[in-house]
Amino acid sequence: MPGKRTSESGGPDAAAERAAFLRVEIERFNRAYHGLDAPIVPDAEYDRLFAELQSIEAARPDLLVGDSPTQRVGASARSDLPEISHAVPMLSLGNAFSVEDVVAFDRRITDLLKSAEPIEYAAELKFDGLAINLRYEAGLLVGAATRGDGTKGEDVTPNVRTIAVVPLRLTGTHPPALLEVRGEALMFHTDFDALNARQRARNEREFVNPRNAAAGSLRQLDSKVTAQRPLRFFAYGIGSFEPGTRDQEVPSTHAALMDWFVELGIPVCEHRVVVKGVDGLLSFYRDTAERRPLLPYDIDGVVYKVNDFAAQGKLGFVSRAPRFAIAHKFPAQEALSTIQNIEVQVGRTGAITPVAKLDPVFVGGVTVTNATLHNEDEILRKDIRIGDTVVVRRAGDVIPEVVSVVLERRGPDTYPFVMPSVCPVCGSNIVRLPEEAIARCTGGLFCSAQRKEALLHFAQRRALDIEGLGEKLVDQLIERRVVETPADLFRLDLSALLQLDRMAQKSAHNLLDAIEKAKHTTLARFIFSLGIRHVGEATAKDLARHFGSLEALMIAREEELLGVAQVGPIAALSILRFFEEPHNRAVIEQLRLDGVRWDTTGGTVRTQNGEIAGRVFVLTGTLTHLTREQAKERIERAGGKVSDSVSKKTQFVVAGDAAGSKLDRAVELGVPVLDEAAFLTLLGSDSP
């Protein structure tokens, strides 16, 4: 029985062992990707291992064996689908990953063709789908096959016939006697999203990405299933050809071939150009990279082909790929890494987001060390644990995320993540409300992570209306630690403000005047200013009317809150959790001590105007004597309600200058329309 292979020094042959290991792994990956439509590792990991095997075989030709993955394409056909042999092999392409690789490719072509002029290339997109071959005889589609291992593929003719864009009969009066069209079956993003939505509705397995969805759909044993899947097709090459007339022949260039396909009714992608030299190639690559996020389908690079078919013939092929073409890949959007820890980040609205702390990994053109895990449910759904090997994805400027776990690499030392119960920033309680996926910090008035959002909301026009306290000023107040909670606003003095950038005496005095004015408000505005989740302006008014005082609201039980018209179970819990948090109560008490007072009537109705009480109003256009807010407040204080849209339930539409579609809708429905004078009369005065 032979022992382990040894090197010249008599020790184990490390290169031979590594090559053997890589061949087994790559064949396993090929089978999963091409045969089962269930990839185990990202493309970048596959490319890395494949390139390593190529490098070993190049350095050690004695290790190159006939059944090496570097000598074949894809994987063998599935045993449950009939096989079709390709008359012309369907080869793969070599890869370029850098500018230097493209320069070297162009130099080889130029040298082999002995050309003194820049080479003319056809440049097109590299689709992320499934390669197929369409066979037309006398213009009729008679067969379709996947690429398989390059020499034999699966017969998917019945399924391809369900793809609406694939012509069953070629257009034109003189079709070729035989034409094999090479191209890609793929799925558009919108179609993929709709398909997964249907899968979720049926409680069926969702597809990982459009490529898997397209491949799985095309390999169905029942073509009725494929017919329900929205597949597309783009042609990019030719296989066998036999003329239909004596003088019929294939066009002389790749670009002309694509134009001919269009005439025959075969779909061809419009994003294709003819360029000259390496500068033209790289320009197309850059332009495509910029356009990539806007495309309706996935691509993972671009393809360069020598445009002239005669020149292609001279260049020929090497093992599994043509010399005359190469795929220039974009930086990998997915890669493997290991989760070292999971921490949580607190967003500006208190949202708690779990974040994976990763071993550094180069993906999407940058080195990534953090990736979002979205929420606790996503962690459980994907079964992500600390210590796991995971697939990390970064597309364009999108925040990196963990896509999935490589379960076969899970070790015994991994362990689950537990969502913390208190905020890591401020120590307030973390609460997840029913029917919400996101957990949140409840210390909205106190938490420094929420400070900017809390201050801007507190000061906005519909809350305490502190004019002049805008985003840039709030940024300065926070950065210099002048203001930490809304209560600190009422302790600002002139000297502190004058130290801020671009703050003059007049602006500082105006801001202090606005802050002083804000000390006197209504209960409804104050409740709204607190920024309680699910408590909008209308709900705040209802709470003020119902409880009449802040003290009564702060000690209200859940059943009491549910008695308020605008308050449902989720809003009730949100209110309870907010006032249960000691940090929030402390800030409210400090606001009292700093002189903030609110109308103890709670904004209840002062006058029950019989013409207004219980009526629904819609405001449109610009009023002369009242702002939209003032008009709304006057209606509500008289017992009426204000709606944003006109319906049959609307009693009056108040129309100011430049009234828009709401006025047209009122006329259409016969709703009474009031001008400003009539509105003021209805309110009981002719001035504000």
For residues 639 and 616, what is the distance between their CA atoms, to the nearest angstrom? 10
Handedness of CA 629, 634, 638, 643 (dihedral sign): negative
Backbone phi and psi for residue 676, each to the nearest 5 degrees, phi listed first? -65, -40
List the structure tokens of 270.
């419009």
Reduce the DSSP state of residue 504 to 3 states and report it: coil
**Beta-bridge partner residues of 302:** 125, 328
- 662-680 burial, b for 16+ CB within 10 Å, e for fewer? bbebbeeeebebeebeebb
Closest to 570 measured CA to CA, from 429, 436, 457: 436
How many other CB atoms are there within 10 angstroms of residue 201's CB atom? 8
Asked if residue 325 lies in contact with residue 93, where contact means CB atoms within 8 angstroms, the answer is yes
Q: Which residues of 622-657 are buried (b: 16+ CB within 10 A; e: fewer)?
A: ebeebeeeebbbbbbbbbbbbeeebeeebbbbbbbe
- Gap between the Cα atoms of 680 and 678, Å rounded: 6
CB 630 within 8 A of CB 688: yes
Structural Rg of the chain based on CA atoms: 34
Strand partners, 185: 130, 233
Cα–Cα distance measured from residue 457 to residue 461, given in angstroms and rounded to the nearest whole number: 9
User: How many Å apart are CA 346 and CA 426, to the nearest integer?
Assistant: 10
Q: Which residues pair with 363 in a beta bridge?
A: 366
Query: Of the residues 4, 114, 126, 305, which is catalytic?
Result: 126
The structure tokens listed for 242 are 């036999």
Beta bridge partners of 96: 328
How far apart, in whole angstroms, are the C-alpha atoms of residue 216 and residue 229?
10
How far apart CA 688 and CA 685 sit, in angstroms, is 7
Residue 126 a catalytic site member: yes
Q: How many CB atoms lie within 10 A of CB 387?
A: 14
Which tokens belong to 296?
């309706």
Distance of CA 149 to the CA centre of its chain: 34
Name the token pair of 651: 């009693």
Measured CA to CA, the distance from residue 681 to residue 630 in angstroms comes to: 15
With H, G, I as helix, E, B as strand and everything else as coil, classify residue 121: strand
Residue 576 · residue 558 · CB < 8 Å: yes
Write out the DSSP string of 205-246. PPPSSHHHHHHHHHT-SSHHHHHTS--EEEEEEEEEEE-SST
| Closest by Cα among 431, 435, 433, 368 to 403 | 368
Cα-to-chain-centroid distance, residue 452: 26
Could you give the CA distance from residue 509 to residue 513 in angstroms, rounded to a whole number? 6
Query: What distances in angstroms separate CA 528 from CA 539, 562, 619, one per listed residue?
Result: 8, 18, 22
- Element at 408 (helix H, strand E): none
Do 596 and 519 form a contact (C-beta atoms < 8 A)? yes
Question: Which of the residues are catalytic?
Answer: 126
